Homo-oligomer: A and B are copies of this chain.
Amino acid sequence: MTTCQDDDLRLVLRGLLTTIGDKWTLVVVAALVDGAQRFTGIQRRVDGISHRMLTKTLRDLEHDGLVSREVHAEVPPRVEYALTPLGRTLLDPVDGLIRWVDEHGRTVLRNRAAH
């Protein structure tokens, strides 16, 4: 386990983990793996996310520099979201989580169903 000695950095790290680990952030990042998507395309890939929550999640990711928002000058204007180079670095750790779910997901669901 990576540890972090510096107390300030620990606080920063914990704050970021709770952001990245936010309910929808990881699945929205994963939904952008294949390239730029329109809002409705992301919403289709991320089952169960509300319009409001996807708007908020994308805005937060944009502010963090992880997602770019491009408005194409068409009528009507086409708006596309894509991972920035920084955002793409997040794919590896996210993929680690997805592989974990792939390997252990069924066990977790069985445990959960027993309660």
Contact = CB atoms under 8 A, between A and B. Distances in A.
A107 B86 contact: yes
Within the oligomer, what is the number of copies of this chain?
Answer: 2
Q: Interface residues of A: mostly helix, strand, loop or mixed?
A: helix
Interface of A: 1-2, 4, 9, 11-14, 16-18, 20-27, 30, 33, 46-48, 63-66, 86, 89-93, 95-109, 111-112, 115
A108 B16 contact: yes
Contacts of A20: 97, 100-101
B1 A112 contact: no
Contacts of A115: 63
A66 B108 CA distance: 8
